[in-house]
Structure 1
């Protein structure tokens, strides 16, 4: 290969950034953060019910439970919309419990065959051409021999599961689906775009009722019933800029005892039902206005006069909610509630009936839910664990508090909402955020991000870390499947083809967390477990004649695949370097572990490519130059040189320099884009899959963070060599050889 694979030399970071490694790292970080701004969650109205998400994030439509008296020959329709940022081919998953049809933007794209119409049918994958913007989906269900209804959705719990939105003008922004009652005749026209519900000619469920007309009682009586001794809160906002005066008149009618507070300070109290009227001093800033109501003998709640109502603005931007007020309750009248904490929207609170509750609207069953709709910020998954690790270390090394704070905000977004996400999953079938953390069933779901979370918690105490970390530790130590000898493995994989396998990737999904949790908790037994796992994985996956690792061990076959996938091997050396950093030299396993590290380093050194990069298939120089494994080897080599782990550090220092030179010339462009990072993998017993089917992505989060870490370790090694006399002369020779390089 005489020229870069991914871009022209003039587009490279080396061409524009020269030898300044920190400049390259800051360019990568700036591009990533700029592309992923820290947007808050999107809040939407949701309605719990029988049409809800399942564990795999598909929606279930249980016809027999919804309508036990539905007759053969009738049909039911469900309607929702889905946003797409671009025109794209997308795969949906469907299971039919009976006859079913699927329409996309009014066009029939699927009709079930009789052999597909039963609940035990394996998931069917349907490819659909989404258009940029809103895409409308309509499902038509009938009763069949074995039932009716089905499950439909994106079926992507491990990556970025999507949620559907109510499509009509009346309820625009709500999460979920509308559905009809059983109809004797088909719809005259399949909805293909936004419409008013009445214009479709049928009624849609759940019913949209005017809450003020639904009952003669106040809103809190309608929502929570009449139980003497209960209380509840209402929350809105008020701003002096809306009226241009220093004081305003607040007036209306209370149906029970009532208390008003502004920014947590009580400004008015009334012990009986009746009209209220008081003046409120205002500032120009928007302020929280809260109302505490206590249930009376006959009613509770309140009504604001029109002039007061016009001063109010919604407490929160909740899609699908057209009012100004949100409600929280019910509580025991004397129960102490930290309302300011509740208004941060991060947690549920225990109600007076012993259940955890969250904010809601006064629309029947209209509850508020946060959804993570960002591309990456706030998301929890294992590639982001490494991405944020790299960004955090860069922020500290480069004295860039903005990068550090970005990472801490991302991590705390997830950790602070951990307990909420467990509740959200229980109530609605699948969580609207923290989808993997709230449903851990593999090391991928917890270890990598959890390890970075513990590192971040050393910078400042982050909300929710203690309970999240304890949950992860319990999963790894007590729930993750193990072989009889204690080796962690995947009894249940992401797909059935991955069941009963052991992946070298899982060393990184467990070892760094165990090391950091040992330090965080003070329990050194976790270091013992980390060391044990590395040696057990060596037993199953090591290829001694090449001194490298097989990607996967197939437990059912009882043999390794012997496929030398680049990133899988990178995970191993990366993990061992993390363990050796944490493990005391007097530990019983230290000697054998450092010997294993040296053997692997020697094996990988022999496979470094001519351009300084390692290849997707390590032993095949015709496979593409892969960025993430290259970065992991650079990181582990540079750290080993600096830590004194290598008996002869010279060739490894040179390999690390050549590796960074190759990255800056061939994998990082002048804009900070990172090329050549292999996408998430399955596995195979042949190299063909890794070489020809497992391609690379631009700016894949599997690679961004480890590129940053590799650069930082290269800088640290440079500084260490410069300051260590034995290396000073050799350092000059190295620089002469690489005088036009980009490190």
Structure 2
């Protein structure tokens, strides 16, 4: 029997009193330039200089659910490599967005930014990172340990041991992991198998690693790998991607969470490519990523919703229940792309994501858990999962940060 549906109004956060968006970094610099021209006092100029160089604090928004309690559940429930990496990424976006690729200037002087190892995201994931192994943690999957790769590189700005660990992880993926018949990097170490999940594990890390190594060609290879995955997982009949193709765990269904993994993974690759001075002129690669992301969103939008207003666990199968994990992450993709390219991702994408976000808000309990989710360890389980999916909870944080940034950019409304 299904557990009762949660509709806790008390889970909704109080709207922030800060209704206006904070001034951009560019605006603050231009203001400083004006003050210099107008011969303001030294004290005023120093104050403006400090303001221009300080991190931009994004105004909070009321997304219809309690993002802090959702994040706390992700932290307390995560127990696998991909869950640790996914949760760390979500915490970084939530608390230190300036360090994430979604910040205004994530690569100062074209380099990885210095990060305080004591911020919540890094302090949380640090104990899970193996510093002396071939990969960042022991795992039968090729990509899952790499979900912690961006965190390792940020930790490496204060402790080079983590840079060395990231080096070994990248070398393993690029040169030692099995390759599929078309050259795509396998998600599994023991067989040649492609999972949509790996789009959010290996490739955002490898794109970030390309910045670390100042390697434009490495960035191009990441985009090529995304295309190789698409060549296998997408078929002409559908806009969305199949979940797994390979000899061990094949799943030809259009798993909503898998499409979320693929979409958000490519979103992170796209933002990394665009924000880094060494690759922002790769217009052909940008265009490909945007097109592939749009296919996934368009397919999800055509798939409809079930009675709770959620996307089905398998988008192309009306027999499946609606669930929160895929709905949250695909909605985050829509908000990120509405900010990235409003012409290509116009208002209808925001409207679709808004409807999903409101439906998700009604599914959060007073304990922060958002339900029902798909069983995170058994995606074909017909029983709705009420125990708090670590990845699903992290996706709610991704959804919040994407919506918050969209509102702060003046593109979405709160």
Report the TM-score, using the length of structure 2 for normalisation: 0.73
Q: 1:457 aligns with which of 155, 160, 163?
A: 155
Compared with structure 1, are the counterparts of its residues 393 and 22 closer, same or farther at alpha carbon in structure 2 (3 Å cutoff)? farther
**CA shift digits 1:602-656 (9 cap, x unpaired):** 1111124154421111123442222221121111100100111652511101111
Q: Residue deviations 1:636-684, cap 9 Å, x none?
A: 1001001116525111011111111111112x223322333323346xx
Write the distance in 1 (CA, Å) between the matches of 2:140 and 2:394: 24
Q: CA deviation at 1:389?
A: 0.9
Q: Distance in 2 between matches of 1:520 and 1:381?
A: 22
What's the CA shift string for 1:277-334, capped at 9, x where partnerless?
A: xxxxxxxxxxxxxxxxxxxxxxxxxxxxxxxxxxxxxxxxxxxxxxxxxxxxxxxxxx
- 1:418 partner SS: coil
- Give a deviation string over 1:58-86, Cα, whole Å, max 9, x none: xxxxxxxxxxxxxxxxxxxxxxxxxxxxx
1:374-404 CA deviation, whole Å, 9 max, x = no partner?
x75xx761111011111122122599x9996
* Correspondence list, 1:551-566, <5 A: 551-554=243-246, 561-566=251-256
Structure-1 residue corresponding to 2:63: 21
**Are residues 1:506 and 2:198 paired?**
yes
Residue 85 (structure 2) aligns with: 385
For 2:116 and 2:138, the matched residues in 1 are separated by 31
Partner of 1:721: 410
Match 1:616 to one of 269, 291, 313: 313
Choose from 592, 595, 620 the match for 2:288: 592
Structure 1 residue 596, shift from structure 2 partner? 1.9
Q: How does 1:548-697 map to 2 (within 5 A)?
A: 548-554=240-246, 561-583=251-273, 584-609=280-305, 611-644=308-341, 647-666=344-363, 668-681=364-377, 690=380, 692=382, 695-697=384-386
Change (3 A) 1:697 1:464: farther
1:535–1:618 CA distance, 2 compared to 1 (3 A)? same
Match of 2:43 in 1: none
Distance in 1 separating the partners of 2:317 and 2:198: 24
User: How far off its partner does 1:405 sit?
Assistant: 2.5
Q: 1:479 offset after TM fit, Å?
A: 0.7
Partner Cα distance (1:9, 1:525) in 2: 50
For residues 224 and 247 of structure 2, the distance between their equivalents in structure 1, rounded to whole angstroms, comes to 19
CA pair 550-474 structure 1, distance change in 2 beyond 3 A: same
- Which residue number in structure 1 is paired with residue 95 of structure 2? 395
Local SS of the residue matching 2:66: helix
Structure 1's 669 and 646: CA in aligned 2 closer, same or farther, altered over 3 A? farther
**In 1, distance between residues paired with 2:297 and 2:402?**
16
1-side partners of 2:233 and 2:355: how far apart? Answer: 28
CA distance change for structure 1 residues 577 and 5 in 2, over 3 Å: closer, same or farther? Answer: farther
Check 1:10–1:597 CA distance in 2 against 1; reply closer, same or farther (3 A cut). closer
CA separation in 1, counterparts of 2:9 and 2:344?
A: 38
Aligned-pair distance for 1:466? Answer: 1.0
Closer, same or farther: CA 457–626 of 1 in aligned 2, 3 Å: same
Q: Which residue does the alignment assign to 1:7?
A: 5
CA distance in 2, matches of 1:535, 1:9: 41
Q: Structure 1 residues 599 and 509 mapped into 2: Cα distance closer, same or farther (>3 Å)?
A: same
Distance 1:541 1:645 in 2: 27
Asked if the contact 1:6/1:675 (under 8 Å) is kept, the reply is no
Which of 392, 396, 404 aligns to 1:707? It is 396
> 1:567 and 1:12, CA in 2 relative to 1: closer, same or farther beyond 3 A?
farther
C-alpha distance in 2, partners of 1:466/1:570? 29
Instruction: Give the Cα–Cα distance (whole angstroms) in 2 for the partners of residues 462 and 659 of structure 1.
Output: 41
Matched-pair contact (CA < 8 Å) for 2:74–2:391 = no
**Partner of 1:609: helix, strand, or coil?**
coil
Q: Deviations over 1:198-241 (max 9, x none)?
A: xxxxxxxxxxxxxxxxxxxxxxxxxxxxxxxxxxxxxxxxxxxx
Equivalent in the alignment of 2:49:
none
Provide the residue aligned with 1:442 in structure 2: 141
Relative distance call for 1:491 and 1:449 in structure 2 (3 A) is: closer
The question of whether the paired residues in 2 share the 8 Å contact of 1:380 and 1:414 is answered with no
How many correspondences in the alignment? 346
User: Separation in 1 of the partners of 2:63 and 2:229?
Assistant: 34
Contact 1:383-1:701 at 8 Å conserved across structures? yes
Q: Highest relative contact order (Cα 8 Å, sep 6+), 1 or 2?
A: 2
Larger Rg: 1
Q: Alpha carbons of 1:673 and 1:588: their partners in 2 closer, same or farther (altered >3 Å)?
A: same
In 2 relative to 1, CA 627–534 (structure 1 residues): closer, same or farther, beyond 3 Å? same
Instruction: Determine the structure 2 residue equivalent to 1:521.
Output: 213
1:43-62 matches, cutoff 5 A: none
For structure 1, the residue ranges without an aligned partner over 5 or more in a row are 37-374, 423-435, 494-498, 683-688, 736-743
Deviations 1:520-549 (A, max 9, x none): 221222212211111111111113333111
Quick one: distance in 2 between partners of 1:670 and 1:398? 30
In 2, distance between residues paired with 1:660 and 1:403? 32
Q: Name the structure with the higher strand share.
A: 1
CA distance in 2, matches of 1:700, 1:641: 27
Q: Distance in 2 between matches of 1:20 and 1:403?
A: 29
Alpha-carbon contact 1:511-1:579 (below 8 Å) kept: yes
The answer to whether the Cα contact below 8 Å between 2:242 and 2:253 also exists between their aligned partners in 1 is: yes
